[in-house]
Chain A
Amino acid sequence: DQQVKQNSPSLSVQEGRISILNCDYTNSMFDYFLWYKKYPAEGPTFLISISSIKDKNEDGRFTVFLNKSAKHLSLHIVPSQPGDSAVYFCAASEGLDSWGKLQFGAGTQVVVTP
């Protein structure tokens, strides 16, 4: 059974508006969370991460929020740009020293329209 779930397979948003991507997890041992971005015909690239000791991490237009009690995290993109159109994967690991073994969600396809 998948331990990381992204229940929205797709999201369409207008350029300049906020994109909110959601991710839920079931394993309470997860304590490090990441978002990856993937363009067609390319491998995923690291976007932003958060450890369980924080509830928010910001990097430019990207902010990740973590709600440990709800086992929920979200990625906010503000403002959304056409270049943000991609598939976004949420991932989680048990510990920072996890040998890079990650559990991934199914991904959310984001389309930013002009």
Chain B
Amino acid sequence: DVKVTQSSRYLVKRTGEKVFLECVQDMDHENMFWYRQDPGLGLRLIYFSYDVKMKEKGDIPEGYSVSREKKERFSLILESASTNQTSMYLCASSFGWSGNTIYFGEGSWLTVV
């Protein structure tokens, strides 16, 4: 079974802190994604990566950066956390280009106070 693991399930951070959300997949997938899920808005793509050290902006990249130094690991970075970044963050990976091959992690709940 494909496993996408998000290391932190629940985090509480202060405004202005630097936050790292880590994601690891164990299936040698080329593509990895970070989404955020908010009530009434569904899932929105923040960044994705199709190869090591490659990254592309999604629909809402402002306030975020990413790092992919190894194929299995994709990190989301909030340089200076703000309260409007309180959300559920979902990491995903895929072995193809179509949405039916995407596998999601269990999510990280981030609260910024």
Q: Which of A84-103 contact B (CB under 8 A)?
A: 89, 91, 93, 96-103
Main secondary structure of the interface of A (DSSP, over half): loop
Q: Mark A33-62, 1 if CB is under 8 A from B, else 0.
A: 010000001111110010000000000000
Per the CB 8 Å criterion, the residue count for chain B at the interface is 31
In the complex, whether B13 has a CB less than 8 A from a CB of chain A is no
**B-binding segment of A12-20, A66-74, A75-83, A104-112:** A104-112
Check B98 against A96 for contact (C-beta < 8 Å): yes
Check A44 against B90 for contact (C-beta < 8 Å): yes
**A-binding segment of B66-74, B79-87, B102-110:** B102-110
In the complex, whether A32 has a CB less than 8 A from a CB of chain B is yes
Docked Cα-Cα span, A68 to B44, in Å, equals: 23
**Chain B residues whose C-beta falls within 8 Å of the C-beta of A49 in the assembled complex:** 98-100
What are 11 A-B pairs at a CB distance below 8 A? Answer: A41-B106, A46-B102, A98-B99, A99-B48, A100-B92, A100-B96, A100-B101, A100-B102, A101-B48, A102-B45, A106-B40
Given known contacts A32-B98, A49-B98, A106-B39, what 15 new A-B pairs fall within 8 Å (CB)?
Answer: A2-B41, A2-B42, A9-B40, A43-B92, A44-B90, A45-B103, A46-B102, A91-B99, A97-B97, A99-B56, A99-B97, A101-B58, A102-B43, A102-B45, A102-B102
